[in-house]
Structure 1
Amino acid sequence: MSRPAQYHLLSLPDGSWETVSCLASVIRCRATTPTVIVDVSAVERLTIDALAVLVRKAMRLRSAGGELLLAGPGPAIRKVIERTGTGPLLPDFYDSAAALRALGDDGRAWQRVELSEGESALFCEPAQSPYCRHRP
């Protein structure tokens, strides 16, 4: 069975650990599809701890049949990814349009979907995040 041709497009405003961790919690608790494009064009620097969070999220998305793509990384982000050897887990593209074209290489028409308003049945695990609230 093939994965749905749907993706989420999320923007990352900075590369701090706190912001990246928040983004990871949002993906875990509100994503409805395992393919996520993260627009990092506004990020100047990415801490090593923040990179680790993105790598863990990319691995989790892959285990669910999807992937995490970075759109618009600057030279500093590309350099830290290259130095850490995490490039295979975090494919990067010039911008979100280029990432979407790469997804379309499989011949399917990809459609952007918004994050869910409630819990994600796809990823949500017990978490201490304000973005994850489990129903009794």
Structure 2
Amino acid sequence: MEVRVLGRWLWRLIGLAAVGIGALGTVVPLLPTTPFLLLAAWAFARGSERWRQWLLNHPRFGPAIRSWQAERAIPRKAKWIGIASLIGTMLIALWMDLPPAALTLQAIALIAVSIFLLSRPDGNSG
């Protein structure tokens, strides 16, 4: 096989893996969906325009991806699910009695992610 063909199949494989993880995120608490779907759209853009179009036109996943690509927007519902997940993550860390340094670093990271989520415009799909 030509190197170019192998590259397209590698991008498709990355895209499929990202879609799979993103789909799991719809049912597994604290596993994000949208970042993996954005990764899949990016990979499919390099590996298969047909697969990229399938993802962009998917009734469940497509609206959030299109909203991000067009406006860098995050649907309001996704924002609140994300914030709830971040709070849940911090509560689990507290329950696990992690060392204070680890809790501090985690809190800083989670606050930064929260600020990012809340600073994005609301997308059309939420």
Q: TM-score by structure 1 length?
A: 0.31
Whose helix proportion is higher, 1 or 2? Answer: 2
- Structure showing greater Rg: 2
Normalised to the residue count of structure 2, the TM-score between the two structures is: 0.33
Greater relative contact order, per chain length (Cα 8 Å cut-off, separation 6+): 1
Compare the two structures and name the one with the higher strand fraction: 1
